[in-house]
Amino acid sequence: MSAPEHLRLVRDDCAQAMPAAALAQLEPLRGGHLVVTGGTGFMGTWLAEMAAHLNDDHGFGLRLTLTCTQARQFAQHASHLARRPDLEVVEQDVRNLVELPPTTGWIVHAAGTPDNRFHSSDPLRTLHVFTQGTDAVLKAATRLPSLRRVLNVSSGLVYGPQPAELERIPEGFRGAADFGSVASAYAEAKRGGETLCAAYRAQHRLPTLNVRPFAFVGPYQHVDRPWAINNFLQDALRGGPIRILGNPATVRSYMYPSDMAAALLGLLVAGKTGGDYNLGSPEGITLGDLAGRIAEHSPTRVEVTVPQAPQRPGHLSRFVPDVTLAAQVLGARPAVDLESALRRTIQWMLASQQRVPRAVPA
């Protein structure tokens, strides 16, 4: 029996994101064991899809262990991944993690949700998950006999607000969140996680590096997440109108998740120990233009509305990364531009018809 259309679309995306040069760079993963904490979230699910592609189409023989807090839910909604013999799902609160499989050679630490509704409603747990969880993972990693690399998933939010005059944020930018505000719990926890990595690298010679993700759009992303692009897509699929609730001049950029997964694996293998790398698209777009483009790709004709008056120009927000350092490591630009990303995302959502194996909270 052939795979459902939405799963074939994902596999095609993985193949496109892995040209010959990228595959050659990932040779050190061949026959290895990769652990992904928070492995059933958006990022972990795409890493699992990419690992499946590497094993099925290129014979990598990569073993994958995903740790999560909702293993049963993942098995129900991502059965095509959960039943694979080369993939193991372990239910484990990352804060209580004591040991990792002794054969682990590679770790992507991605546990914890980026949903700011959770950060606002439970800031103490947010801090605990990201600081205690990171400490637990790094401590367990020090006992691994064959460890090659630990990639810590931080966040572009560690930079704090992006100055309006700065077109793209480079890794060397030294901004900061307002640490006196509870709204900064997530950003400060991520900053703390990076400091923990530096401490373990210095004291235990642990081979760690950080990746700072920005924004993404694509399959497996919940449309009910509190981000503008998700709201726009949800509005479009409901027949409109697409409502811009914030300032239409706000600038964001979006990377497609197959490119994200390929970049994560590339940085895991070839990134510099102790390095920090932005991950995302360097091509900014205003929310007004973004809503218009989604309307163009909508299955039905929809309008774009601005229910409230725009904010004053002084309140404009920009969040766009400089990805020069990552490009130097990966040696290639992302395979999917924004126009294609929007088209593919909508195509996948329509093909899945809500029967999708969605990423579950990690």
Q: Residue 152 pLDDT > 50, yes or no? A: yes
List of domains in the chain: 5-220+254-281+319-352 (3.40.50.720)
Q: Model confidence at 2, in pLDDT bands (50, 70, 90)?
A: low
Q: pLDDT: is 191 or 178 the higher one?
A: 191
Stretch among 96-105, 122-131, 166-175, 278-287 having the lowest mean pLDDT: 122-131
pLDDT > 70: what percent of the chain?
Answer: 94
pLDDT given for residue 359 in this prediction? 44
Mean pLDDT of 91-104: 95
pLDDT given for residue 314 in this prediction? 53
pLDDT > 90: what percent of the chain?
Answer: 73
pLDDT given for residue 107 in this prediction? 98
Q: Do 97 and 133 form a contact (C-beta atoms < 8 A)?
A: yes
Q: Model confidence at 355, in pLDDT bands (50, 70, 90)?
A: very low
Mean pLDDT of 315-334: 91
Stretch among 119-123, 277-281, 311-315 having the lowest mean pLDDT: 311-315
Q: Model confidence at 79, in pLDDT bands (50, 70, 90)?
A: confident
pLDDT tens, position by position, 17-27? 999 999 999 99
CA distances from 21 to 15, 25, 79, 271 (A): 12, 6, 31, 15
Stretch among 212-216, 220-224, 266-270, 354-358 having the lowest mean pLDDT: 354-358
Q: Model confidence at 361, in pLDDT bands (50, 70, 90)?
A: very low
pLDDT tens, position by position, 183-242? 788 899 999 999 999 999 999 999 999 999 999 999 998 777 778 999 999 999 989 899
Model pTM? Answer: 0.93
Mean pLDDT of 148-170: 95
